[in-house]
Amino acid sequence: IHGVWPDNKSVILNNCKMKFLILYLQDKKKSELDKRWPQLRYEKLYGIEKQDLWEKEFLKHGSCSINRYKQEAYFDLAMKIKDRFDLLGTLRNQGIIPGSTYELDDIERAVKTVSIEVPSLKCIQKPLGNVELNEIGI
């Protein structure tokens, strides 16, 4: 999970309010989040305790939906979406294995087996002219 980004059907909303919000998650919720949304820049225990990534994403994106999704509901929604779409599992079920080369159309078709809309595929240029899929937006 990169994040849950609310929008108003025309633009993705960012940094809406509550700049000094304190992130409060119970230990059970932290553990559930870490399984689905690990903070890869840190050792596991430090990431769970400090919650830097989760706090950043909530302040940037979750604050825009705070009237509808309080903190716990925002993170519950992120986990529910992750579980529903299981993109790595979906890609594998469609014969697309990480580390191999595929056409973007094949990846789009695979993701559309679990989503309604065409996914937003973001790629990055790697050395030697290789292109790598970096993000799938649903």
Reply yes or no on whether 135 is catalytic: no
Burial class from Cβ neighbours inside 10 Å (0-12, 13-18, 19+) for residue 16 reads: middle
- The verdict on whether 132 is a catalytic residue reads no
Q: 90 is written with which tokens? A: 């979906």
Which is the catalytic residue, given 32, 49, 57, 132?
57
Determine the topology of domain 1-84 in CATH: Ribonuclease Rh; Chain A (3.90.730)
Q: Active-site residue among 49, 55, 61, 103? A: 61
- Catalytic residue (choose from 2, 32, 55, 108): 2
Q: Tens of pLDDT along 43-83?
A: 888 878 878 888 888 888 888 888 888 888 889 998 998 88
Cross-strand partners of 106: none
Domain ranges of the chain: 1-84, 87-137
Instruction: For residue 75, count other CB atoms closer than 10 A to its CB.
Output: 25
Q: How would you class 105 by CB atoms within 10 Å of its CB: exposed for 0-12, middle for 13-18, buried for 19 or more? A: exposed
Q: For the chain, give the mean pLDDT.
A: 83
**Helix (H), strand (E) counts: the chain:** 6, 2
- Tell if the pTM clears 0.75, that is, is over it: no
What pLDDT does 29 receive? 85
Q: For residue range 19-47, what is the model confidence (pLDDT) as tens digits?
A: 555 667 778 888 898 888 887 777 888 87
User: Is residue 108 flagged as an active site residue?
Assistant: no
Question: Helix 71-85 to helix 52-60 angle, to the nearest 10 degrees?
Answer: 100
8 A C-beta contact, residue 78 and residue 5: no
